[in-house]
Amino acid sequence: MARPRKTGLSFYYKDAHEWDDYRIIDLVDTFGPVGYAVFDVIRSEVYKSGYYLELPLPKLALLVMRAVGNRWIEDKSFVLQVADYCGEIGLFHPALLKKSVITSVEMQRHYADVTARSKADKTRYWLLGTTKKEACPAASFSEPNQSDKTDERIVNNETNETDETNETKNPSAAQPEQAQNASGTVICPNCGMETPKNSGYCERCGYYIGREQKDAFSWEGEYSDIEQLFQFEEAEPINGVPAGDIRRFVGGMWIYYIPRFIRMARSKSSVSFNFTAFLTQGLWFVSRKMYLPGILLMLVNTAISCYQFYFSNVMEGLSGSRLGFGSMLYMLLTGLEGLLMLLSGLFGNKLYMNFCTRKIKKINARATAAHADADQFNRAMEDEGGIAVVPVLSVGICYFAVLYLLKTGFLF
């Protein structure tokens, strides 16, 4: 009787650049080293069974808890949170994860490389197409109308890999081809690997690079003469994100922010004075969609203004120690207000740079998981970046209305 064909792997390799992958960095930053241990155990279980693991998530959580130990994981809900987050950032295929199927494009590529000479069945939940006309079984789990584009990117990847193999075997014949295709590649800003422009995603780490990247910002006719004075390398990394992506995310005010971001990234400095943030503080943060620090600053400033107007109205009736304490508190709060203004001006650009790069990485993760094209990526950048007109007007009107009521004595 023939022995059943083995589908799982006994071992698998880890990329030496794995810890440079922004998704791994985000995972560890969110859940700590235990979160990475959970991901690693799940990945091992996937390879044990082949290229996917179909298992109810509660059972998977119990399996992971047994492997990692109850000392580190007290509740299976932690494992479920890590698994869901891995789907959000693209470490697992998010649509299949909702169906209790654990797999990813990277896992299947590795499995395909290892089992290239075997006859292992690769049809169920297979995310990699082989020809342009072949229907990918997971197409229904991707974004609408994306199956053809996904297959084309995969075909391009396989064609490029075949060309690289031929060039390795025959270096002398490959030299003209290398020179001819030198301009057809880009450097992945996440792991540094040279990747063909038409591949859509980095072949090593899966970073989304489907956007067209230009060498320098000098396009005639598309921008004004003033804008063309501010040339920069679009592929230059700023906190691991191309400067061109940050320009799209920031929107029309990129002329002010991009040169400062590049200067801070090169010098590793945190100080770059922003006069608008210095004057408006919370309103500027809200306008750049940094709502949490913006609202907090507005609340603190409102509270300080309330006390200042209150003390000015009642100070005539105070005497002795109460007057001295009130005056001291008044001066301290006035100093705090000035300090917040100074800190907002000094570190506003740094906070905004970190905000932009963090949001772009999340957009990249979603684009990678959904196999989004360049148009979808750019729309997401425009929607989540730019200026928040309605929120800043609403917050500003409320703030100045409170100040007006305080000044007229309506609240006291």
Give the HSE-up count for residue 3: Cα atoms under 13 Å, Cβ half-sphere.
3
Whether residue 24 is predicted with pLDDT greater than 70 in this model: the reply is yes
Last residue of a domain, one of 128, 163, 198: 128
Is 186 within a domain? no
124 plus 239 within the same structural domain: no
State whether 124 and 237 are in the same domain.
Answer: no
Segment 229-241 mean pLDDT:
74
Closest to 238 measured CA to CA, from 264, 257, 212, 206: 264
Query: Range of 88's domain?
Result: 18-128
The residue with tokens 């080293």 is 33
Q: Which of 187, 191, 186 is nearest to 22 (CA)?
A: 191
Grade residue 275 by pLDDT with cuts at 50, 70 and 90: very high
User: How many other β-carbons are positioned within 10 Å of the β-carbon of residue 132?
Assistant: 11
At residue 299, does pLDDT exceed 80?
Answer: yes
111-114, Cβ contacts within 8 angstroms, sequence gap of 24 or more: 111/9, 111/47, 111/50, 111/51, 112/51, 114/9, 114/12
Domain check: are 117 and 243 in the same one? Answer: no
Query: Residue for token digits 């891995």?
Result: 86
Q: Which of residues 56 and 132 earns the better pLDDT score?
A: 56
**Nearest by Cα to 158 from 137, 131, 120:** 131
Coil, strand or helix at 305: helix
Residue 43 lies in a domain: yes
How much is the average pLDDT of 7-17? 77
Same structural domain, 254 and 373: yes
| 271 exposure class (CB count in 10 Å sphere: 0-12, 13-18, 19+) | exposed
In the block, residue with structure tokens 């109205």: 313
pLDDT single digits (tens) 207-220: 656 544 443 343 34
Residue 140 lies in a domain: no
Q: Which residues of 9-18 are buried (b: 16+ CB within 10 A; e: fewer)?
A: beeeeeeeee
302-348 pLDDT tens trace: 888 888 887 777 665 555 666 777 788 888 988 999 999 999 999 99
- Cβ-based neighbour number of residue 108 at 10 Å: 21
Q: Judge if 249 and 392 occupy the same domain.
A: yes
Query: What CA–CA distance (Å, rounded) separates 56 from 40?
Result: 18
Nearest to 262 by CA among 281, 235, 289: 235
If one compares 18 and 290, the residue with the highest pLDDT of the two is: 290
pTM, rounded to two decimals: 0.50
Answer yes or no: is 2 within a domain. Answer: no
CA 108, CA 213: separation in Å to the nearest integer? 28
What pLDDT, in 10s, does the model give residues 35-82? 999 999 999 999 988 889 999 998 888 889 888 887 888 888 899 999
User: Cα 251–254–257 angle (5° rounding)?
Assistant: 130
> What's at 281, amino acid-wise?
Q
Is residue 200 in some structural domain?
no
- Based on the domain organization, do 246 and 383 belong to the same domain? yes
Token pair listed for 271:
């100080």
Q: Which of 153, 174, 154 is nearest to 164 (CA)?
A: 174
Residue 159 and residue 207 in contact, taking contact as beta carbons nearer than 8 Å: no
Q: Looking at the domain assignment, is residue 339 inside a domain?
A: yes
Domain termination site, one of 98, 128, 158: 128
Of 113, 128, 143, the domain-final residue: 128
Domain count, the chain: 2
302 domain residue, yes or no = yes
Q: Mind spelling out the 3-state secondary structure of 204-233? A: CCCCECCCCCCCCCCCCCCCCHHHHCCCCC
Is the residue at 250 inside a domain?
A: yes
Confidence bin at 254 (pLDDT 50/70/90): confident
